Amino acid sequence: MKIAMIGAGYVGLVSGACLADFGHTVVCIDRDPDKIASLNAGRMPIYEPGLDVLVAENVRQGRLAFRSTMREAVAEADAVFIAVGTPSRRGDGFADMSFVRAAAQEIAKSMSGFTVVVTKSTVPVGEGDEVERIIRETNPEAQFAVVSNPEFLREGAAIADFKRPDRIVVGTDEPRAEKVMREIYRPLSLNAAPIYLMGRRTAELTKYAANAFLAAKITFINEIADLCEEVGADVQAVARGIGLDNRIGSKFLHAGPGYGGSCFPKDTLALVKTAQDAGTPLRLVETVVAVNDQRKRAMARKVIKACGGSVRGKMIAVLGLTFKPETDDMRDAPSLAIVAGLQDAGAKVRAYDPEGMEQARPIMPTVELAENAYACAEGADAVVIVTEWNAFRALDLTRLRKSMSSSDSAPVLVDLRNIYDAKTAMEHGFTYEGVGRAVTKA
């Protein structure tokens, strides 16, 4: 099938490349001419493992192309996917629909014949109705159907998630649109990925409900971690103990510095606003948002406490800046609040991240950036692991210890992802503090 993908950002680029890999002909369209020029030159605007190879192969095969204008691609398309950004709106936290609505208007001007318009962007309940209204008002003669097809991609594992999904949610009650969507995803039938049909508004809400539930699991285990620290329990054992119950499951029960990224923060806020406007406030989700925001800053206080109550004049080495490993995404990353809190307390901060340095440089101008983990720790009074990159899972602790400050007190290792064993850290001369575990002093 012929597909036009409006937006060559994270969702649009990954989805377009994967659909092309299925054998469809895909044109990704983006208004940013520099992004299109980079893509045509083989340079990826984001870091996602395997994406560069996937894009290059499908461009070589003639199934994937990049353009800055949409008229021709939309006119020829059987389906047009809207995959533009829906950031949180300033002031009220509601999702900003301006990019979606602008795309809908442009699509309407270029459509030819029956076209399925698919909202891949995460949109509030009822936005599909608005997209339909805009298209109908702009082009009264257009033959089309608007479908909701939310994405469920994890950054760092997006290609695998697209090709081996748990489910494919399709919101439509239009038979022709259903037929087109089934044909688009037919290559996944060998994986037995279920296409779950529902109403358009139900599909829109399903996306938000899924992200809010996962955010709630993260927030729950983080609060349990705080309790564990006070009563002498181990949050990792608690998480395993409850996660073995298949009604609960083990995923998203890893205590840490709070959730971040492009989805959970903005989607929980948007869901809260939608519910408030509907007169049915979601108190649980409101609390999840508030607790998570407070937690990020609290992690800076945790580091300060581990350093004896003051970090003024001390060098703190931060390992990991992105909100999770295998991405360069810094949006709402816990590191932003942690670093700000440490600097406000008078600390000097040096940081290293395997992929996030370029993204971090303009938004952390006062942070010294290092070439690797050991250079980052050079002369530092404390090392703080913020992101659980594989590169940090097997550090040479003897070398790390020797790189650090040679003051009389034992150097501090604050492990906000619990990737090290406290006993091992202590044996290497560290004062160790994890999350939801007892403090262990060398």
| Residue where a domain stops, chosen among 198, 230, 253 | 198
Please state, as a whole number, how many other Cβ atoms lie within 10 Å of the Cβ of residue 70: 22
Quick one: 258 and 293 in the same domain? yes
Quick one: 366 and 219 in the same domain? yes
Q: Dihedral through CA 161, CA 130, CA 260, CA 324, nearest 10?
A: 20
Using the structure block, give the residue that is written with the tokens 């560069």.
52
Residue 80 bridge partners (DSSP):
4, 117
Quick one: 214 and 336 in the same domain? yes
Quick one: 112 and 182 in the same domain? yes
pLDDT for residue 37 is more than 80: yes
Tell me what the pLDDT averaged over the chain comes to: 95
- pLDDT tens for 137-195 read 999 999 999 999 999 999 999 999 999 999 999 999 999 999 999 999 999 987 777 89
- The whole-angstrom separation of Cα 384 and Cα 307 is 11
Per-residue pLDDT at 331: 94
* Least confidently predicted of 52-56, 189-193, 233-237, 273-277: 189-193
| Mean pLDDT across 339-356 | 97
Per-residue pLDDT at 189: 83
Helix (H) / strand (E) element for 3: namely strand 2-6
- The residue from 18, 228, 263, 376 that is catalytic is 263
Per-residue pLDDT at 356: 96
Per-residue pLDDT at 162: 96
8 Å CB contact between 333 and 353: no
pLDDT band (50, 70, 90) for residue 439 = low
Quick one: 151 and 293 in the same domain? no
Q: Range of 306's domain?
A: 203-442
| Residue where a domain stops, chosen among 198, 223, 238 | 198
| Residue where a domain stops, chosen among 198, 231, 254 | 198
- pLDDT tens for 249-279 read 999 999 999 999 989 999 999 999 999 999 9
Q: What is the CA radius of gyration of the chain?
A: 24
Inter-CA distances, 60 with 19, 53, 64, 68, 134, Å: 15, 11, 8, 19, 36
Quick one: 67 and 214 in the same domain? no
Q: What percentage of the chain has pLDDT greater than the value 90?
A: 94
Query: What's the pTM?
Result: 0.93
Per-residue pLDDT at 90: 78
Per-residue pLDDT at 269: 94
By CB atoms closer than 10 A (0-12, 13-18, 19+), residue 28 is buried
Number of domains the chain is built from: 2
Active site residue 307: no
pLDDT for residue 42 is more than 60: yes
pLDDT band (50, 70, 90) for residue 401 = very high
Per-residue pLDDT at 94: 84
Quick one: 20 and 143 in the same domain? yes
CATH number at residue 320: 3.40.50.720
| Mean pLDDT across 281-286 | 97
Quick one: 55 and 12 in the same domain? yes
Per-residue pLDDT at 440: 63
- The whole-angstrom separation of Cα 81 and Cα 199 is 18
pLDDT for residue 333 is more than 80: yes
Quick one: 259 and 280 in the same domain? yes
Q: Which residues are CB-contacts of 181 (< 8 A; sequence separation ≥ 6)?
A: 79, 116, 118, 147, 149, 170, 172, 195
Per-residue pLDDT at 406: 72
8 Å CB contact between 257 and 386: yes
Quick one: 319 and 408 in the same domain? yes
Quick one: 314 and 419 in the same domain? yes
pLDDT for residue 407 is more than 90: no
Quick one: 122 and 262 in the same domain? no
